[in-house]
Chain A
């Protein structure tokens, strides 16, 4: 972005009335009152309860499915299998590799095979228990590295590579020749469960005209609409999908599960004529839904003695489980960010997304970025150790700054706040002093401090068409509804759109309401993922607001008998710029519009420019703008048990523009703790393909007693695309906590653990290993 554009952005930011303010979100009241909002709260009285029979083995042919006994259980209305699907038996997020109901083969535990529909849950469960499935077991593969071997078990007929891509920049051989020091390490990350507090749920019923309505917990109603229509073999205009208030999502509710819950319910509704609801148990949820991809990352890094990086050669391998889901897109983001936010002239990255017979991995907040940053930032500290350099100095020597090139040779052209974030985090955490002081700790409890930096390409970038549609509807009572198929599931982002609309329209926030995400009344808008609601949805909102404003001012000019171009709106009053006493209320104008039949419903559509880059070598503009951040973590390690206690996290982010600093803090805090869990205690463990810990009593997320002191620092270097320069912030704050904590632990103990989560066992044994 040019300097003029930057100045213009900064000017826009002055004098803001609503945007930038700590405002209460618009959907808070119902939530604190406990009003029935979520799918399970609004089930039709006569709805059939569904129970899915799922595979109990990781890889097998299905020889026989016996549903007769189940059908005979009193109270059971239907038992359906793949052969009962009228349309196409497919339910996938990206690659057509997955059936809705497995008919001939299962490739992981937890695949849906049959569905029981009954008058109540107990009956459904009882009947599901007597559906018998005869398997012919097949050999299976559970490691992505194993899956890469030429003689590996084939998960799919097309082979085990769901996606391969590479980065080639410069010449790594030359780069390593220039290096004085070369280190190579392999890092491993684990399956992380999203653990939204509301498990997956979807329901469906037939309307009088034979169309289907689905309601459920989801991120992307239009994906569900397409999925349901395909399964039923009907056109999408016969399928209406409404997002109910959704109790947390984090990515997986934009993948296959909402299609599953709604399509299975719709199938039953279609067959029986009755409403049907499929609500997952927590155990079912953990086994069946997509999780964060585990990665194995081998990094070979070369640097000169002064710390300047010369080359990076990386092998990045993800385990996407039995079905690809959005694995092919996760690996792209991971591949592009593998090096971390540094300038490296010679880069070679080979990235593979591999099928295995583990349960599925897919979208999850961060989308590949937390994994590669754990590796890249651990590697930077290891390199600093080898060079006998302070890890902060090593980073500052190499970080991305405006005018420099990323690993994909993208020019960092907008105001880049990475250095500012680093400086602020370092100052606020007392880094320099603590780096020295804490190293003097002796005894059984030792403290350490670690730093990690990141960059996060905003929105979809190379992942798809990046557009959004937002409707602004003014009602006769002069209340304004922001309605969009972009969804709210905790982020507060849709309230943020209302703030943006309020700012553009000169109205106070309290006249705004949020509408429902409903395919019947919203334009298709792409998925609610990639933290793009504010960045892309915000632009669409501004466009809708602008159109509406022109209409309002035109009618205002009519009423006042003046030139509309002289009018402004502030606080719901339209005012003449030359004579502030010459006014007409917004309410009056609205009445007039309704009288005249002037529509006050406007749709704003925004499509981001396409990212142009060479797909062969991944060189070019891969993302339209970047969020930057720096996290410092301070920990105390129990040197005898290996237990890591996080003491303080200092997190600084370049957010471009904080639309609502209060909501933004909430997102940073939540993502930080989710990232802390990722680094310290969360792991979905498969034993021979079977999930060993599918309950919340055995899969640990942080509780209120596990959180450290947290200081958040917001830095604003306006981005090129987002409204007011806003950058994506739903995901970036989850990228670094694990990495920073890993570096802090290494500082405290003197030994490195090369995988997460940093369980006490791993930390202790790394220390003992080093002593040997």
Chain B
């Protein structure tokens, strides 16, 4: 089946079809009855949607690009490094081989590690259907936990973003209960630029797997505060306090809200420190 066939099918059957690619999130949910078994549309063979390319400074990643594909990217741009950091600790090697960028993004939950990364990359998503295309900013694509902006006859085709400028530092920090095959308790994605002349932060984007709700979000309060600050230890420390104020986390049996807040602050500190070292040396 090719992309046209898939889109035709969706046009005919918009209300009871679920597109599936890697199935790593979907199949267990169907089996455990967390979602009803409806018609599945297998997209996994559509090679047209599996690519990572650069067009005039814009990086475009096809929705069927696997996490393993991201892990293998070798160039040293900030976005490649960031996505590789996410990929290296994603699921397990078995899962990376089949899990896709599209699947991860569409799942729209805090356990999807690529989402914080795409949020800080200020990504856009390209959504296609039989009769047209539309683009959305990434943050508008995520509506709430497990709810995205796709209509029944649409599929996510591509995630794209402007490649961060040379000299952008990046960091992905993740905390879980063991070293692999985990749902992140806390994860933080960071992109940061510094004006090398006065060492002030000229651009910063930070996203956490959870901030106030149940899906990943950008930390606007922290970003606003950091912009223009000197990237020194005092700033890093103060940023964690600002984050503490912005956080509205909840407790569950895995960890208390208090611990998650502590951990988020530590991960932010480490992310900013890592960026500082990358940009300004130790």
Contact = CB atoms under 8 A, between A and B. Distances in A.
A700 B253 contact: no
Contacts of B33: 129
Given A681-B178, A700-B177, A693 B253 contact: yes
Contacts of A697: 28, 181, 183
A760 B253 contact: no
Contacts of A681: 177-178
A338 B179 CA distance: 33
Contacts of A685: 253
Interface in A64-112: none
**Chain B interface bracket (under 10, 10 to 19, 20 to 34, 35 or more):** 20 to 34
Contact of A706 (B92, B179, B254): B179
B178 A687 contact: no
Interface string B153-182: 000000000000000000000010111111
Contacts of A761: 255-256, 259
A283 B177 contact: no
Interface string B172-198: 000101111111000000000000000
B178 A641 contact: no
A110 to B, nearest CB: 16
A587 interface: no
A331 B101 CA distance: 51
B182 A700 contact: yes
Contact of B175 (A129, A641, A693, A706): A641
B177 A759 contact: yes
Contacts of A687: 253
Nearest to B269: A640
A473 interface: no
Contacts of B177: 681, 700, 759-760
A703 interface: yes
Contacts of B178: 681, 700, 702-703, 705-706
A764 interface: yes
A710 interface: no
Nearest to A691: B253
A573 interface: no
B187 to A, nearest CB: 13
Contacts, number: 51
Interface of B: 28, 32-33, 92, 175, 177-183, 253-256, 258-259, 262-263, 266-267, 269
Nearest to A283: B32
A705 B259 contact: no
A134 interface: no
A243 B73 CA distance: 50
Tell me if B's interface is mostly helix, strand, loop or mixed: loop
28 contacts: A129-B33, A283-B32, A641-B175, A641-B266, A641-B267, A681-B178, A685-B253, A687-B253, A692-B253, A693-B253, A693-B254, A697-B183, A698-B183, A698-B254, A700-B178, A700-B181, A700-B182, A703-B178, A703-B179, A705-B179, A705-B180, A706-B178, A706-B180, A759-B177, A761-B255, A761-B256, A764-B259, A765-B258
A760 B269 CA distance: 18
Contacts of B180: 703, 705-706
Contacts of A129: 33
Nearest to B37: A122
A693 B267 CA distance: 26
Contacts of A641: 175, 262-263, 266-267
Given A760-B259, A761-B259, 9 more contacts: A283-B32, A641-B266, A643-B175, A685-B253, A697-B183, A700-B181, A700-B182, A703-B179, A764-B262
B230 to A, nearest CB: 23
B71 to A, nearest CB: 15
Contacts of B28: 697
Contacts of B269: 640
A643 B173 CA distance: 14
A706 B179 CA distance: 6
A698 B267 CA distance: 22
Contacts of B181: 697, 700, 703
Contacts of B263: 641, 760
B259 A765 contact: yes
A703 B180 CA distance: 7
A728 to B, nearest CB: 30
Closest 3 pairs (CB-CB, A-B): A761-B259, A705-B179, A692-B253
A700 B183 CA distance: 11
A769 to B, nearest CB: 12
Interface in A660-707: 681, 685, 687, 692-693, 697-698, 700, 702-703, 705-706
A760 B259 CA distance: 9
A641 B253 CA distance: 18
B194 to A, nearest CB: 24
B256 to A, nearest CB: 6
Contacts of A765: 258-259
A702 B177 CA distance: 10
A687 B259 CA distance: 19
Nearest to B265: A640
A264 to B, nearest CB: 22
Nearest to A701: B178
Contacts of B253: 685, 687, 692-693
Contacts of B255: 759, 761
Contacts of B256: 761
A559 B33 CA distance: 72
A761 B176 CA distance: 11
Contacts of B179: 703, 705-706
Residue from B33, B254, B258 whose CB has the most chain A CB atoms within 10 Å: B254
Contacts of A698: 183, 254
A643 B263 CA distance: 10
Contacts of A700: 177-178, 181-182
A759 B262 CA distance: 14
Residue from B177, B179, B180 whose CB has the most chain A CB atoms within 10 Å: B177
Contacts of B259: 760-761, 764-765
Contacts of A692: 253
B269 to A, nearest CB: 8
A706 B180 CA distance: 8
A129 B256 CA distance: 34
B261 to A, nearest CB: 11
A759 to B, nearest CB: 7
A693 B178 CA distance: 15
A443 to B, nearest CB: 13
A687 B32 CA distance: 20
Nearest to A122: B37
Interface in A426-447: none
B94 to A, nearest CB: 12
Interface in A125-157: 129
Contacts of A764: 259, 262
